[in-house]
A = this chain, B = another copy of it.
Amino acid sequence: MANHRRKESVADRVYEALKEDIFEFRLIPGDRFSEGDIGGRLNASRTPVREALYRLQREGHVEVLFRSGWQVKPFDFQQVEELYDLRITLERAAVHKICGLAEEPAALRTLTALWNPDHPSERAVGSTVRMLDESFHCDLVAAAGNREMTRIHREITDRLRIVRRLDFSRDERVDATYVEHAAILEALRNGMAREAADRLTRHIRASQRAVREITMERIREAAAAHRSEQ
C-alpha cells in the first residue's frame, strides 16, 4: 500500500499561504497578480503555484483571466447572503437529523461543556471565540453523520471566514454567541428539533446582520491601508 502520509508538498504550502493572504486581507478582493509573482515571493516554480491557484479558483476565492493574470475574486455581497442562506439550510437539516438519531452523539456533551455561558475562560480574545464558533457549527453538522454534508458545510465555512471574522470584533456579539449556543444545545439535547432549528436560524441571521453592517466599512479601510503601503 502506498504511503499517503507524505510530507507537505510545495503546492500545499503555497495554497495555505495564499489562502491566508486572502483571509487576512493582504490580498484585497480585486487585486491582480501573476503566477510568476507568487512563485517568486514564495520560492516556488509555476507548477505548484498553478495547482494551488486552481484549488483556490474551485473554492471561489480567485479567478483566472485568460493570459492576463489572476485576481482575487471581487467581493460579491449577494454571494455572501446566499452562502449564509445555504449555511442555514444545511445546519437546520443537521439539527433535524440529529434529533432523529437513535442515540445522542457524544459530540453534544463536549459542546455543552464548552459553551456554558458561565464558563469564564476563552472569552477574552475575539479571534479565539471566532475559531470556537466555527468549530461549534462544524461539529454540529458533523454530529449529524453525513460526511458529504459536513464537507460542503466546511467549504462554505471556509468561504465565509473572510467576513465572519468581523462578527466578533464587538464584545456584545461575543457574549451573545455564548448564550445562543447554549440555548441551541439545550433545545437539541431535549429533542426539540423545531425549537433548536429556529434558535440556530436566528443565531446565524444575527451574525449575518452584524457582518453585513461592518463588512463594507472594513473593506474600505483595508483597501486604503493597502494603497498607503505601496
Q: Which residues of A contact B (CB under 8 A)?
A: 2-4, 6, 47, 50-51, 54-55, 58, 65-68, 78-79, 82-83, 85-86, 89-90, 93, 146-149, 152, 156
In the assembled complex, the Cα of A9 lies from the Cα of B8 at a distance in Å of 30
A65 touches B149 (CB 8 A): no
- A58 partner residues in chain B, CB cutoff 8 A: 55, 58
Judged by DSSP, the binding face of A is: helix
Chain B, residue nearest A5 (CB): B66
Q: Give A164 Cβ to nearest chain B Cβ, in Å.
A: 15
When A65-B2, A66-B4 are in contact, do A85 and B54 touch as well, CB less than 8 Å?
no
Q: Taking A51-B54, A54-B54, A79-B147 as contacts, is the C-beta distance between A152 and B65 under 8 angstroms?
A: no
Asked if A79 and B148 sit within 8 Å, CB to CB, the answer is yes
Complex CA–CA separation, A58 to B57 (angstroms): 12
Please name all residues of chain B whose beta carbon is closer than 8 Å to the beta carbon of A90 when the two chains form the complex: 89
CB closest residue in chain B, given A65 = B2
Contact call B2/A82, Cβ cutoff below 8 A: no
- B146 near A65 (CB under 8 angstroms)? no
Decide if A66 touches B2 in the complex (CB within 8 Å): yes
A85 partner, pick from B66, B82, B89, B149, beta carbons under 8 A: B149
Measured between C-beta atoms, what is the minimum distance from A75 to chain B in Å?
Answer: 15
Contact A82-B147, Cβ < 8 Å, known A58-B58, A89-B89, A93-B89: yes
- Chain B CB within 10 Å, residue with most, of A68, A147, A148: A148
